[in-house]
Structure 1
Amino acid sequence: MEESKGLRLILFPMPLQGHINPMLELANVLHHKGFSITIIHTQFNSLNPTTHPHFIFHSIPIELSRTEASTNDVMAFILLLNVKCFEPFSECLARLLSDDDQEPVACLISDLLFSFTQHVAENLKLPRILLRTSAASSFVAYAAFPLLLEKGYLPIQARVLERPPVKVRDLPVLKTKDPQKYYEVVSGLKKAVEASCGIIFNTFEDLEGNSLATIRQELYTPIFPIGPLHKCYPANTSSSINLLSQDQTPQSFIYVSFGSIAAIKETLFLEIAWGLANSNQPFLWVVRPRLVHGSEWIEPLPSGVFETLNGRGQIVKWTPQKKNCWHIKPLECFGLTMVGTLHWRVFVRGFL
């Protein structure tokens, strides 16, 4: 590690695994550059401080019902987190800033989807930098939403002339009970970046040069494409799950995961199970406890469904993505988690 700079950075990740991992990877990079790292995290999907003993962790309480924590409406969940986190985060951040026994705080690094942190940071006169954990190209699409709304392209299924050759149906739109609210939130992302001191992208110039150039033309905010962050600290694969027998040497396998909060119906769960069984491909299926409505784990699976696999696949409750995915390339098939962050991380991994 480089000599300490005598400055502290406070990081605040969105409590979804595909957002937590890039933030921790960024924290490792910054710590290696000499910064002290303090991480504020929610008790929901809480982090384990013992895995990063060189960081200081502060947990903030948020109350979520089981229904709220397992919703399929991702946008509604993100909005709820912004409301629930506002008060405890504000109090925690103010307390950290007033601690004279610690190094001075240089800035706050917040997930882009935590929009409320702008107001908090401004009130505390603290510089704020954003982390975008997914692709720069998707941010370009989001930045176009205000214009698309103004011209009536959304939600009409028509060709978008301002971003050729993209069509409305190709834009990154989440299913939500309140589409109008979704458009408002996404339209506000560009303003959030413009109000910040900079934004970090988990990407690199050779991969997304055109999108990054577009962002630089449209924003005066400094952008830092310093990814792929996982390459800065490669995972130790010694504890990886051994998916394959000794005589299997494929270049890819199927990875299925539905992230930290999504819940699915039993019928869909069984369709996935039979699809994996009939795929004749090695696979790793992460089935989080209570992923299936009305079940604790994999009770809906009929007996014998995986008897003929001959060790070709595994079902686990949890697995570290870096240890079990990043060392096999490219990934041929994978489950999309939440809003596409894992999709992007796996996609980037395939180029390296």
Structure 2
Amino acid sequence: MEGRNDSCRMVPRNGRRVILFPLPFQGHINPMLHLASILYSKGFSVTIIHTDFNFSSTNYFSCNYPHFDFHSFPDGFSETEASVEDVAVFFTAINGKCIMPFRDCLAEILMKSKADQNKDSSPCCLITDAFWFFTHTVAADFKLPTIVLQTCGVSGFLAFTAYPILRERAYLPVQDHQSLETPVTEFPPLRVKDIQVLETMDQENVYRFVSAIDTQIMASSGVIWNSYRDLEQAGLGLAHQKYLSIPIFPIGPLHKCSPASSGSLSSQDYQRSISWLDKQTPKSVVYISFGSVIAINKDGFLEIAWGVANSRMPFLWVVRPGLVSGAEWVEPLPKGFLEMLDGRGCIVKWAPQQEVLAHPAVGGFWTHSGWNSTLESMCEGVPMICQPYLPDQMVNARYVSHFWRVGLHSEWKLERMEIERAIRRVMVEAEGQEMRARIMHLKEKVDFCLRKGGSSHQSLERLIDHILSF
């Protein structure tokens, strides 16, 4: 794949094993699997520990990654408990439920490796998702060093962990509607509305959650960022100041330097997506995908449908089952809607996003502004329309629109006239051409940072040496 370099080529096993523990959500699983594949290509043996939550089956991952060793444990969540509507409560609960089963799983792996005379079975460190905030304490009991993987952007994460400081400086809680527009001078170009605290029944729980994540990072042996220096230089500078004694490794974009198979939890409609795109003219298609978690109501869904149709631009739209509240799939669409478009629209349940964004027919991306999607769009030079829902997505959207200036931040309600206008601004007007020129410049920087001597290449070499030093 374009942008991958010699550092991604396979080398002989180096006799060391790494254990990785991803958070069980698509946006966290993908970068962890990419990282695992990169480390495997560098000679490490790989063990993946995962919970039963949101993983379709261990067999699926074993088939796609036969060279990894997978271990799973039950997380104790019932279907009724497994709701992420109150994010702080959910993550606090799942961390609590997983402590003992994770300890038992890790103990079993380490015991087996101790009995095994093969050096490849000796783990040298645990690489854990940042949102697993209990793992360092457990690993420390086994004298196993911990490295944290940050799957969100540097700026988004710093804004998230700054909640206590922002409350201390009276930005939070929000006093009135007008204060939402107040600039946060500590994090330009953000406003208060871009860093609103997670909605929760217990606001203090958010601060405890943030503090627990930060405490683990402070105690870890390093932090890996799925970002690169040219993109987030200021944020990385702040991260170095905050985590002064902790080694930081910005080695992203991970997906550009990974020979990984698909880590999708959903079945991808590859053939239909790509064959439809093959029939479209260059830079003409709007790709629409709002990720794997968020849900929208039926009224909003219909406004999107009519707004996109009225734009007169071809579109590939991912409508995953569960996207529309109260609907199985696309039932709320008016009868004959797709037929009316005469082939100008294609709706799929899931798409191979990296391949779609790399396709020459795609000229714009309407996205929820998750960090993976943001990076993937930048890597392929595709300007964005940002429709964020969660706090880190709000930060990403603001940076896309007002710092990197490679997209629009849709701060309007889902209304068809606004949607039509936004699509045409990005796809056919001069403003969109300027965005495309700027994002192509960022794409060139991505390609450079991954080459030998580039910033991400150098950070990866430092990471490898760091892990081998344990």
Class of the TM-score when normalised by the shorter of the 2 chains: 0.7 to 0.9
Distance 1:294 1:168, change over 3 A: closer
- Pair 1:134 & 2:152 matched: yes
Superposed, 1:160-199 pairs within 5 Å as: 160-164=184-188, 166-171=190-195, 173-199=197-223
1:266-296 CA-partner distances (Å, limit 9, x unpaired):
3333333333333323333323323333333
**Which residue of 2 is the match for residue 93 of structure 1?**
106
**Partner Cα separation in structure 2 for residue 5 and residue 203 of structure 1:** 26
Give the Cα–Cα distance (whole angstroms) in 2 for the partners of residues 69 and 309 of structure 1: 38
Distance 1:280 1:236 in 2: 35
Question: How many Å apart are 1:130 and its aligned residue?
Answer: 0.6
Q: How does 1:288-307 map to 2 (within 5 A)?
A: 288-307=320-339
CA gap 1:316/1:164 in 2 versus in 1, 3 angstroms: closer
How far is the alpha carbon of 1:42 from its aligned partner? 2.1
How far off its partner does 1:163 sit? 3.8
Which of 46, 62, 71 is residue 58 of structure 1 equivalent to? 71
Question: How is 1:207-286 mapped onto 2 (pairs within 5 angstroms)?
Answer: 207-219=231-243, 220-233=245-258, 241-244=274-277, 246-250=279-283, 253-259=286-292, 261-286=293-318
Q: CA 1:251–1:88 in 2, change beyond 3 Å: closer, same or farther? A: farther
Cα displacement string for residues 89-145 of structure 1 (whole angstroms, at most 9, x for unaligned residues): 221111111112261111111111111212221222211101111211112323433
2:24 corresponds to: 15
| Structure 1 residue 37 displacement after superposition | 0.5
Secondary structure of 2:337 counterpart: coil
Cα distance in structure 2, aligned partners of 1:207 and 1:304: 44
Shift of 1:162: 3.7
Whichever residue aligns with residue 120 of structure 1, its letter is: V
Displacement of 1:215 after TM fit?
Answer: 1.1
- Matches of 2:18 and 2:205, distance apart in 1: 32
Contact 1:142 1:187 in 2 (8 A): no
1:180 deviates by: 3.1
Is the 2:282–2:363 Cα contact (8 Å) retained in structure 1? no
Evaluate the alpha carbon distance shift between residue 326 and residue 16 of structure 1 in structure 2; reply closer, same or farther with a 3 A threshold: farther
2:37 pairs with 1:28: yes
Structure 1 247/17 Cα, relative in aligned 2: closer, same or farther at 3 Å? Answer: closer
| Alpha carbons 2:23, 2:129 under 8 Å: kept | yes
Off by >6 Å, runs of 4+ in structure 1: 234-238
How far off its partner does 1:328 sit? 5.2
> Conserved in 1, the CA contact under 8 Å of 2:282 and 2:360?
no
CA distance in 1, matches of 2:358, 2:26: 15
Q: Distance in 1 between matches of 2:204 and 2:318?
A: 33
Match of 2:374 in 1: 344
2:230 equivalent to 1:206: yes
Bigger Cα Rg: 2
Separation of aligned partners in 2, 1:69 and 1:297: 21
Structure-2 change in CA distance of 1:209 and 1:164 (3 Å): closer
- Counterpart of 2:165, as a letter, is L
Q: TM-score, normalised by structure 2?
A: 0.67
Unaligned runs of 5+ in 1: none
Aligned residue number for residue 120 of structure 1: 138
Contact 1:63 1:84 in 2 (8 A): yes
Q: Is the 8 A contact 1:255 1:285 kept in 2?
A: yes
Contact 2:163 2:197 in 1 (8 A): no
Q: Give the superposition deviation at 1:19.
A: 1.1
Shift of 1:327: 4.4
Letter in 2 for 1:74: V
Residues of 1 paired with 2:326 and 2:46: CA distance? 40
> Matched residues in 1 for 2:102 and 2:203: separation?
28
Size of the alignment, in residue pairs?
Answer: 349
Distance across 2 between alignment mates of 1:75 and 1:310: 45
CA shift, 1:202, in A, is: 0.6
The runs of 5 or more residues in structure 2 that have no matched partner are 1-9, 263-269, 382-441, 444-470
Q: How does 1:70-109 map to 2 (within 5 A)?
A: 70-99=83-112, 100-101=115-116, 103-109=121-127
Bigger helix share = 2
Give, in angstroms, the shift of residue 222 of structure 1: 0.5
Counterpart Cα distance in 1 of 2:356 and 2:315: 11
Distance change (3 Å), C-alpha of 1:128 and 1:253: same
Percent identity reads 46
Post-superposition shift, 1:185? 2.0
CA distance in 2, matches of 1:136, 1:69: 28
> Matched residue of 1:325: which SS?
helix
- Aligned residue for 2:340, secondary structure, equals coil
Gap change, CA 1:127 and 1:164, over 3 Å in 2: same
Aligned 8 A contact 2:313 2:344 in 1: yes
Structure 2: distance between partners of 1:274 and 1:82: 42
Match of 1:312 in 2: 344
Once the two structures are TM-superposed, the CA of residue 44 in structure 1 deviates from its matched residue by 2.3
